[in-house]
Amino acid sequence: MTTATAPDILSAEFARDPYSAYQVMRESHPLIWHEPTSSYVISRYRDVARAFKEPVFTSRNYEWQLEPVHGRTILQMEGREHSTKRNLVASAFRGKDLAEKFVPVIARNSASLIDGFRASGSVDLVADYATKFPINVIVDMLGLPTSDHALFHRWYTAIMAFLANLAGDEEVTQAGLRTKAELEAYLLPIIAERQANPGGNLLSIMCTAEIDGVRMTDQEIKAFCSLLLVAGGETTDKAITSVMRNLVAHPDQLRAVREDHSLIPAAFAETLRLTPPVHMIMRQPAEDVELSGGTVEAGRTVTCLIGAANRDPEQYTDPDTFDIHRPDLDLSRAYTAGANHTAFALGRHFCVGALLARTELEIGIAQLLDAMDDIRFTDGSPPPEHGVFTRAPQSLRLTFTPTA
C-alpha cells in the first residue's frame, strides 16, 4: 500500500519526532511500501506482534542485514537448529550462572564507573556511564582483558553504525566490514585456547556447551560474541539513559523508585514500552500475508516499528504517558517471550539476553540512585532523543548531590 502522504522513516522530520509519525501511520497508513529500504513498514501493535510470533514470518532478512558484519548467528537460524544453538548459550543468561558468575561482574563495573564521577556532583550519564557500562560487562563476562575495553567499544560503535545505516553510506559499510575482520582475527585464537583450557567465563561456556552431541562451531561462537557486543551493548546503553531521563522528568516516580528499588524493573519495562532503545526490527514472510492495510508478498522484507506498536492506543490506555504503575503493562511477563510489549521482540526469537539486560538495569539504576541525590537536568529540561533504528538522548547531563 503506497501513499504519497505517508511518513518517510528516512526523513529528517521523522528523525526529529517519530512518535507523531507513528500516530499517522497507525491511524491512516498501517502498511507502507518504502522504496528506499525495499520493505513494507508496519506500525500497529497487532501486526507487529504477529510478525514476531507467527512462524510464517521468518528471520531470513538477517542474511543480508546481519550476516555481512556478524557472520551467521542464532538469529538467522530456524527450527531445531535455532532451538538447539539458542539453548547452548541461554543458560548463561538466566538462573544460577547469571546470579553466581556474572552479577558480581556487573556490580563491580557499575560501581567503578560511578566512583569516577560521584564526588563531582555532575555527570554526562551517556559519555561517563551508559556507553561504557554494558560493553565493559560483556568483555569481562567473556573473560577477556579489561585493557581491551576501549578496543571493544570502538568495534561496538562501528558494528552498530553498520546496522543502523539505513541510508547505505559506503564509508560506514566498509568500517563495519573491517571491524568484522578485526574481531575475527582477535577472537578465533582465544576461542581455540578456551576450548583447550576452559574456565568459568562466558566464552568458555560457549566453547564447551553441548546438547545431544551438538556444539557451536568456532565461527558461530565468534558470531555470537559479535552479536552480544551490539545487542547487549546498544540496548542496555540506551535503556539506562532513557530510564534515568524518564525518571528525572517525573520526580514523583523517581522518588518512588528511590524509596523502593523493587520498582526498577517496572521503570525499565515502562521505558521499553514508551521509549524503546530499538525502534525497528525486520522480518520476512515465507508466504503472502494479510496485514492491516493490505497484503505483504512472500519474500518481502517487513520493517516492524516497535516504537509505534508500543504506543498503540488499542493496546494501552494513555499510551504517550510514562507511568511505572501502568495496569495494562504485564510486569510478570515483561522479560519473557510472552511479554505484552514488543521491545525485545516476541516468540521464538525473543531476545536471549533480556534477563541479563534486566539484571544490569536493576544493579546499575540502584547504584546510581544510591550515589546521587536531588538529581536534576543540568540544562533544566529533558534532552531530546536522537536516532531512527535505535534511539535515545546522545547526552544526559545531570546535576546531583553526592550521597554520603
- Number of structural domains in the chain: 1
Q: Dihedral of CA 383/384/386/388: which sign?
A: positive
- How are beta strands 301-305 and 39-42 bridged, if at all? parallel
| CA separation, residue 271 to residues 44, 122, 216, 310 (Å) | 19, 23, 34, 10
Q: Is 5 within the bounds of a domain?
A: no
87-115 pLDDT tens trace = 777 766 666 666 677 889 999 999 999 99
Q: Dihedral of CA 22/365/370/121: which sign?
A: negative
Q: Is 402 within the bounds of a domain?
A: no
**Residue numbers of the domain that contains 240:** 12-382+390-395
| Window from 102-106, 222-226, 345-349 with minimum mean pLDDT | 345-349
Q: Is 6 within the bounds of a domain?
A: no
- pLDDT for position 1: 45
Q: Is 4 within the bounds of a domain?
A: no
| Window from 87-96, 176-185, 236-245, 303-312 with minimum mean pLDDT | 87-96
Output the domain CATH number for residue 319: 1.10.630.10
Q: Is 3 within the bounds of a domain?
A: no
What is the pLDDT averaged over residues 192-207? 89
Q: Is 403 within the bounds of a domain?
A: no
| Window from 118-122, 140-144, 262-266 with minimum mean pLDDT | 140-144
Report the C-alpha gap between 204 and 226 in whole angstroms: 15
Q: Is 400 within the bounds of a domain?
A: no
Burial class of residue 198, CB neighbours in 10 A (0-12, 13-18, 19+): middle
Q: Is 344 within the bounds of a domain?
A: yes
pTM for the whole structure: 0.90
Helical H segments across 54-201, by residue range: 62-65, 67-70, 79-90, 95-97, 103-115, 125, 133-141, 149-163, 170-196
